[in-house]
Copies of this chain bind each other. A is one copy, B any other.
């Protein structure tokens, strides 16, 4: 292993798997995770941060292993009664999950910054690595579809990604700023790698990159930037990535992901099933490594984390 800090950019379920792997391989001071908060929304008076919560639950080992999101051994008393009262139940909030939302909402109402709140929750949940929101300012992903402009959770949960996507908007991003900690890490020389987790590039990573200064700071960093492909053998492991890429007119392939991230990348990690793509990716000037990227077990997660970190070691630091 190499000295320094890995900075991981992550969305929800897929990203959290690699983040968990990294947290098992690196010391608590050696990993900082930046979470997409474009999925955040206000629902039933609560501030909900789905990707942050998936990361917190996954890293503290209390996530639901079947769904990937939400709490293990969850109970649903509140939802059952909310249904009886004809309240909104399209976004399922478990009783245990509610505690996190209530806790966060109360602290935000008292004036705390989102990053402070998450840091407090992370410590209470005995999570070692830092978990940071992409910004303390509200950025809200909105989806322009054949059914009109939809708030992200309306599209994602309520309409189950069924509408055809035309374009994505990250409302508020242009007025938002990175958290001071992320600025500091990207500007300094403490990082040995910037890892783009195998999350949805359009829905989970692009909102992070839409924060002014982030893209430039990543490109300026001496740490190599490595993305792990969320596309394996022409389809996504989970979620609407493949459907979305097709609707946006992009080929559903790992190569298209490389093209999407463009000059941000120094290296790209593809699955063995896509080994044939390695040559053309390298020809495009991006280092490529081939390994198993399908994380079914905890061993898969830690092995992929090791592979990515080893790849970073061979690539960096980068002299810009």
Contacts and interface: CB of A to CB of B under 8 A. Distances in A.
A45 B106 contact: yes
A75 B79 CA distance: 12
A54 B125 CA distance: 34
Contacts of A298: none
B103 A77 contact: no
A126 to B, nearest CB: 10
Given A84-B124, A85-B125, A124-B86, A45 B102 contact: yes
Interface in A97-150: 98-100, 102-103, 105-106, 109, 121, 124-125
A81 interface: yes
Contacts of A106: 43-45, 87-88
A100 to B, nearest CB: 7
Interface string A86-100: 111000001110111
A78 interface: yes
Contacts of A95: 75, 77-78, 81, 95, 98
Contact of A82 (B43, B46, B84, B102): B102
A241 to B, nearest CB: 31
B121 A85 contact: yes
A125 B84 CA distance: 8
A94 to B, nearest CB: 8
A84 B127 CA distance: 13
A139 to B, nearest CB: 21
Contacts of A98: 78, 81, 95, 98
Contact of A105 (B45, B81, B94, B99): B45
B77 A124 contact: no
A99 to B, nearest CB: 3
Contacts of A44: 102-103, 105-106
Contacts of A46: 45, 102
B105 A77 contact: no
A80 B75 CA distance: 12
Contacts of A96: 77-78, 80-81
A45 B105 CA distance: 6
Contact of A45 (B45, B77, B124): B45
26 contacts: A44-B105, A45-B45, A45-B46, A45-B47, A74-B77, A77-B95, A77-B96, A78-B78, A78-B98, A78-B99, A78-B102, A79-B99, A81-B96, A81-B99, A81-B100, A84-B124, A85-B99, A85-B100, A85-B121, A85-B124, A85-B125, A87-B99, A87-B102, A87-B103, A87-B106, A95-B98
Interface of A: 43-47, 74-75, 77-82, 84-88, 94-96, 98-100, 102-103, 105-106, 109, 121, 124-125
Given A45-B106, A77-B95, A78-B95, 16 more contacts: A45-B45, A45-B102, A45-B105, A77-B94, A77-B96, A78-B96, A78-B99, A79-B99, A82-B99, A82-B103, A84-B124, A85-B103, A85-B124, A85-B125, A87-B106, A88-B106
